[in-house]
């Protein structure tokens, strides 16, 4: 079996750390592993698969001999360094938002549109975390009946804002329990025992960037510009799994029992749906899982004609929402001989 030289851009961040875990867990055929980060982290030793790897400073010359770059250092660094990686012959799986809507860059969730990988020009984009978690649950249903419209509300963990945001939630909660004032730093508002509208920029239509990502990226992956989506994205005091209440309107009736049977067979989905025990997806249980947990699968009572379904899902933001999906893309590139 061939081994591949892998570089991780942003190796010391929250997603970078989970990328390392997942490469090891899945026995990814890693030859050399190059850990790239800012000058500040260079020289730090990071354990991987029983050995220890020194972090190197990210530079234009970091990519010689690299086959696959997993880029998770932020959009502006991707814009700056990905062209050098591609010029050096590597394929970049980019976990930032920099290239997602670029028509020359495939945007891929392997359970949804792996065939789009074939058109890559050296860069493949990994979708937004909230988008991935919604779409893994909606896609199996979409394949059976035309989806006309989705109304989704998110309950997003702080991990989406990075490792420091996770520390902020814990430290600030400790402060508030001690009777002290919350002092936001990573977030614009207190997060301890609070929640707020996602703090990405709000556009002229009143939707924030996070919400528009869910709309645009879903349309791109489903190859369906007619798909209508309204999203409300909310940050909640949860560490690392996003939950979402998803209302889906179909062009024809879709019985809930059929939907549950389809989802039970669907790749990347685990059904957690026990109404008698009031046991449904929860972020603390989704954390560490590869699958998106799906429950509360029910016929939307506000559409008596049977054309609506409601779902409640939780998925690990750092795994399927980011690092796992990126590694799955790399695996799919190998399987399809697209490297």
User: Could you list the residues that contact a second copy (CB under 8 A)?
Assistant: 149-151, 153, 155, 169-170, 173-174, 177, 188-190, 193-197, 199, 201-202, 205-208, 215, 228-230, 232, 234, 236-239, 243, 245, 247, 256, 275-276, 278, 280, 282-284, 295-304, 308, 310, 312
Q: What are the residue numbers of the active site?
A: 129, 242
Please, which residue, 190 or 321, has the CB nearer to a second copy?
190
Backbone angles phi, psi at 52, to 5 degrees: -135, 130
Hey, is 308 helix, strand or coil? strand
Tell me the two tokens of residue 15.
């997603």
Please, which residue, 47 or 275, has the CB nearer to a second copy?
275
Please, which residue, 109 or 286, has the CB nearer to a second copy?
286
Q: What share of the chain is helix, strand, coil (3-state, %, to 5)?
A: 35, 25, 40
Residues 6+ apart with CB under 8 A from 66: 5, 6, 7, 32, 34, 85, 88, 89, 90
Tell me the two tokens of residue 259.
């939907």
Give min distance, CB of 107 to a second copy, in A.
20
How far is it, in rounded angstroms, from Cα 54 to Cα 81? Answer: 20
Give min distance, CB of 290 to a second copy, in A.
20
How far is it, in rounded angstroms, from Cα 175 to Cα 334? Answer: 48
Give min distance, CB of 185 to a second copy, in A.
15
Please, which residue, 1 or 201, has the CB nearer to a second copy?
201
Give min distance, CB of 126 to a second copy, in A.
24
Instruction: Answer left, alpha or beta for residue 150, where phi above 0 means left and psi between -120 and 50 means alpha.
Output: beta
Largest Cα–Cα distance in the chain?
62
């Amino acid at each position: 079996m061939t081994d591949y030289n892998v570089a991780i851009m942003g190796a010391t961040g929250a997603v970078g750390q989970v990328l390392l875990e997942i490469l090891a867990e899945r026995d990814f055929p890693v030859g050399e592993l190059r850990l790239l980060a800012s000058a500040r982290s260079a020289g730090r030793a990071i354990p991987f698969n029983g050995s220890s790897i020194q972090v190197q400073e990210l530079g234009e010359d970091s990519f010689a001999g690299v086959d696959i770059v997993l880029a998770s250092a932020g959009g502006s660094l991707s814009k700056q360094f990905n062209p050098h990686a591609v010029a050096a012959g590597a394929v970049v799986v980019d976990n930032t938002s920099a290239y997602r809507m670029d028509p020359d860059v495939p945007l891929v969730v392997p359970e949804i549109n792996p065939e789009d990988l074939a058109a890559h020009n050296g860069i493949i984009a990994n979708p937004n975390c909230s988008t991935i978690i919604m779409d893994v649950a909606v896609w199996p249903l979409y394949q059976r009946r035309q989806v006309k419209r989705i109304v989704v509300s998110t309950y997003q963990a702080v991990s989406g804002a990075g490792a420091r945001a996770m520390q902020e939630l814990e430290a600030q909660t400790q402060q508030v329990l001690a009777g002290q004032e919350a002092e936001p730093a990573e977030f614009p508002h207190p997060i301890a025992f609070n929640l707020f509208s996602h703090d990405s920029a709000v556009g002229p239509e009143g939707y924030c960037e996070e919400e528009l990502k869910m709309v645009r990226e879903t349309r791109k992956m489903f190859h369906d510009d007619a798909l209508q989506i309204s999203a409300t994205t909310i940050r909640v005091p949860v560490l690392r799994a996003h939950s979402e209440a998803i209302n889906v309107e179909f062009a024809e009736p879709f019985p809930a029992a059929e939907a549950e049977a389809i989802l039970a067979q669907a790749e990347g989905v685990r059904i957690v749906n026990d109404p008698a025990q009031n046991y449904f997806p929860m972020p603390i249980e989704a954390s560490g899982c590869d699958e998106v947990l799906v429950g509360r699968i029910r016929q939307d009572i506000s559409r008596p004609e049977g054309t609506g379904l409601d779902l409640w899902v939780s998925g690990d933001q750092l795994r399927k929402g980011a690092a796992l999906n990126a590694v799955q893309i790399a695996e799919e590139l190998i399987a399809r001989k697209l490297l």
